[in-house]
Homo-oligomer: A and B are copies of this chain.
Amino acid sequence: MSEQALQDLPAPSAVSDSETAPKRMAMICWSSDLDRVWPTLILATTAAASGMEVDVFFTFWGLRVLQKNDKRLTGRNWMQVGESMVDRGGTRHLRLGKVHFAGLGTWMIKRLAKKNKVAFPDELLQTALDLGVRLHPCQMTMDLYGLKREDFVEGLNPTLGAASFIDMAAKADIVLFI
């Protein structure tokens, strides 16, 4: 291949689809801790705003992030309902994962964020949807928790399994487990 041909060669992500394909990011949102959901949504919205295609797969604890904020109890049997009591879902009810910070920590970090005009998870989730970020609930976790589509916010993509997420991730330029 000539020197000229090499310079004309598109970047790897473009090669895989077409010459003009945008870069792609695929993330696993595994946690419902405030301090993990926050960077996940900041990265998702920032990448989408700069023209990247973004997929986020919500699984395990992370599935609760997609729950409607006014939905208190979920599940089809006593174990699932019990789990939903101690693990409240929705972007407005996320708490810090760090133990010595529980309570005061969550309140304080949110106040500091507000003072510094950092958008909150509920706004960021809406921004993500507005920017075309694809949010995929994990089917297996839905079954485990007994969650139904009507427990979730509007605008989500169809549910996925691990195999479909792996397909997406193999095509992405950035893959993160958060």
Cβ contact within 8 Å between B166 and A113: no
Residue in A6, A36, A52, A82 whose Cβ sees the most chain B Cβ within 10 Å: A6
A38 to B50 Cα, complex, angstroms = 32
A173 interface contact, C-beta 8 A? yes
Cβ contact within 8 Å between B35 and A61: yes
A157 interface contact, C-beta 8 A? no
A156 interface contact, C-beta 8 A? no
Main secondary structure of the interface of A (DSSP, over half): helix
Report the count of interface residues on A (CB-CB < 8 A). 64
Residues of B within 8 A of A99 (CB): 99
Cβ contact within 8 Å between B25 and A166: yes
Q: Which of B6, B28, B61 contacts A98 (CB 8 A)?
A: B61
Residues of B within 8 A of A178 (CB): 30, 177
Q: Apart from A50-B166, A82-B108, list 4 A-B contacts with CB within 8 A.
A: A11-B16, A12-B16, A15-B15, A79-B108
